[in-house]
Chains A and B, each alone.
Chain A
């Protein structure tokens, strides 16, 4: 869980970084250069397979944990107050993950499937920048993307520091640094992602 999670965490840095090029306000020129590189470089194509494998493994591991943990308490408490001893998001990784999966299905359908079909069938390559403009002019899509980012924030906020604990790293000096880095990571990545649909919707970038 921690290993695949950390892998996906690194992917998000690349994803957010490249997409943030739209904020350069150059009509998507820099973004398009990167997008072209990402879809044509063979090393990236290879890593893409790894990304899907990592995501798939992360989901399978999550489901296995969920099944085992359910079995570990066959009779539930009649009255329980988990909020007295733990945060809601640390207990809700499964639900947040499920929401993220639903979001991903929508997201891949918007920006991935069509692009790939065009790439392999030799059609005119998709202009992702233009697609973003179109999709993010619809307030329902903008709302759903923002909801997805909120789910992602809480998932990362727990997941980042949790991964280090699972790797066996808990230290008086380093753990506060890891926690701060995790918070910073979740805030920065999610703010960048949230700003993208908003920027198109409100025409902050032209």
Chain B
């Protein structure tokens, strides 16, 4: 692919803290390489802002390899920008051309309060996991891989659900701000495997209860989450969450 440089106009959401009202600020960046990642372009902008004596833009990032789920950013009206199955850190500037205007906003959800600028607090996801997204047994030494027989398709589906990096793009992109894809993936990865069986019922009931408590919206099956998920998590996981929830609700002995 041809290497080129570009000048861009950026409209970035600036917000001092959770209490303050934010607004879009316009910045110009020059001579951006098409081989840079989107976050590297933000590094250039921040260096520029520091040299000008201004407050750099706060944004989340960690591994910059597309696997940690830390980066967010709603870029030009899409979670993680225009590329499919891709995180913001793996979005490269060749997705844009010289003279483009790019609008960058934080994830917008009641359950993801803005900390500063583009950084949001996603600990609501942590609390959902704490409500049941684990198995409470001593694992001991690693057992032989074939000691517990698991159907190949179940193993595959569990693995695909476990690919969720918990970035929150599903919530950000959903018109209802629903977290059903995230919770669906986290419930599925354990519901499909024998290790998850003993706590199957309480897990789904508790995680859904916590999800509702955090103030996420409801799923109306627009499937925008699946389209924007950087890991391509399928909405089949939401259907599995629904059926797990229904079955658990009917058979549980808990009040």
Contact = CB atoms under 8 A, between A and B. Distances in A.
Interface of A: 65, 68-69, 71-82, 84-87, 90-91, 93, 158, 161-162, 165-171
Contacts, number: 109
Given A86-B227, A168-B239, A72 B221 contact: no
B218 A69 contact: yes
B77 A77 contact: yes
Interface residues of B, number: 42
B236 A72 contact: no
B132 interface: no
A82 B176 CA distance: 12
Contact of A85 (B176, B228, B246): B228
Scoring A79, A80, A93, A162 by chain B CB atoms within 10 A of each residue's CB, the highest score goes to A79
Interface stretch (B46-54, B85-93, B106-114): B106-114
Nearest to B238: A165
A78 B74 CA distance: 10
B103 A162 contact: no
Contacts of A165: 221, 235, 238-239, 242
A86 B224 contact: yes
Nearest to B114: A75
Nearest to B239: A170
Contact of A73 (B217, B219, B242): B217
Q: Is the interface of A mostly helix, strand, loop or mixed?
A: loop
A68 B244 CA distance: 23
B227 to A, nearest CB: 4
B103 A170 contact: no
Contact of A168 (B13, B109, B246): B246
B110 A90 contact: no
B5 interface: no
Contacts of B224: 82, 85-86
A38 B236 CA distance: 41
B37 interface: no
Contacts of A75: 108
